[in-house]
Amino acid sequence: MNWDSKKALGVAKNAAYQGGNYLKENFSLKPKVEYKGEINLLTERDLKSQEIVSKIIQNAFPDHSILGEESLSLERDKEFLWVIDPLDGTTNYAHSLPIFSVSVALLVGGQAQVGVVYSPMLGEMFWALRGEGAYLNEDRITVSGEVDLNKSLLATGFPYDLRDSSVNNVDYFNTFIFKSQAVRRCGSAALDLAYTAAGRFDGFWELKLHPWDTAAGALLVEEAGGMITDFSGRPFDPFHGECLASNGIIHTQMREIIENVNKERKSRG
């Protein structure tokens, strides 16, 4: 099936903007909170934003499949899969912390071709088409040129099963805070990747992620000249869970830290 990349990008931008605008307009109103897990929140705003985003996509591409964070799975033409996170940063949003995003990606044949991450409170639209670069609003963006991990600003996050599983991010975090200039934990993996693409962060790592967290942001990093892999250096797969993104220059340094932590874990049994 033929597809129009420019049309798809326009639809992705509009869907992210409309979903984000709804979230922004209702930001001052305390949302009703439910729990998918002990610390994994869900609000009615997640669901409404997902409805807005998915309807815009369905109207434009009724034959395409859609995968959304909030139990949305429309299986149609599997060659074309839209992956959406209607509110990445739900915990921030529920606590009136204005750091959150809407993420929209189109995978064609399993590879991301369109990626949009929208930060409604700042009016920042990060977007990319494969092979055509990455942009923030109308300005092209590139990853940073930092060569030294010790001078790098990194970003990360923690899985929702942190309290229950020993496979978590604590050991990595405890090492990276001493090996980098600083580590930030913003609460939106999509924004962390967008900020890495824009050179605001020099690198990002996280585990137990989902495709809606990373599909759009990963394309941004690639198109901005960065590198994104799993923790072992294998090609990035948004369905795999591990994500290591950087400006490319410090990628090996970050991988070595992760490998060393893994060795220490193994030696401890």
Would you say 238 and 83 are in contact if contact means Cβ atoms under 8 Å apart?
yes
State the Cα–Cα distance between residues 201 and 188, nearest whole angstrom: 13
What's the pLDDT at 2? Answer: 61
How many whole angstroms from its chain centre is CA 208? Answer: 12
pLDDT, residue 32, reads 73
The reported pTM is 0.93
Find the mean pLDDT for residues 115-128. Answer: 98
User: Is the confidence at residue 192, as pLDDT, over 90?
Assistant: yes
The answer to whether 102 touches 89, Cβ cutoff 8 Å, is: no
- Contacting residues for 110 by C-beta, under 8 A, at least 6 apart: 81
Structure tokens at 132: 């055509």
Give the per-residue pLDDT at 102: 98
Mean local confidence (pLDDT), 222-229: 98
Cα 69 from Cα 37, distance rounded (Å): 14
pLDDT tens digits for 22-44?
999 999 887 777 665 554 557 88
Indicate the residue type of 54: S
Give me the domains of the chain, ranges plus CATH numbers: 5-141 (3.30.540.10), 149-268 (3.40.190.80)
Q: What string of H, E and C letters represents the secondary structure of 38-107? A: CCCEEEHHHHHHHHHHHHHHHHHCCCEEEEECCCEEECCEEEEEEEEEEEECHHHHHCCCCCCEEEEEEE
Give the sign of the dihedral formed by CA 38, CA 44, CA 46, CA 51.
positive
d(CA 104, CA 29): 25
Identify the residue with better confidence: 159 or 245. 245
Task: State mean pLDDT over 118-141.
Answer: 98
For 162-182, how does the pLDDT look when each residue is reduced to its tens digit (9 = 90+)? 676 667 789 999 999 999 999
Residue matched to tokens 């979230």: 23
d(CA 188, CA 168): 17
Which residues neighbour 16 within 8 Å (Cβ) at sequence distance 6 or greater?
Answer: 53, 102, 103, 104, 116, 117, 118, 125
pLDDT digits (tens, 9 = 90+) for 62-119: 999 999 987 788 888 889 999 999 999 999 999 999 999 999 999 999 999 999 999 9
Instruction: Look at 4-8, 14-18, 29-33, 118-122 and tell me which has the smallest mean pLDDT.
Output: 29-33
Q: Pick the more confident residue, 1 or 31.
A: 31
**Average pLDDT of the chain, as a whole number:** 92
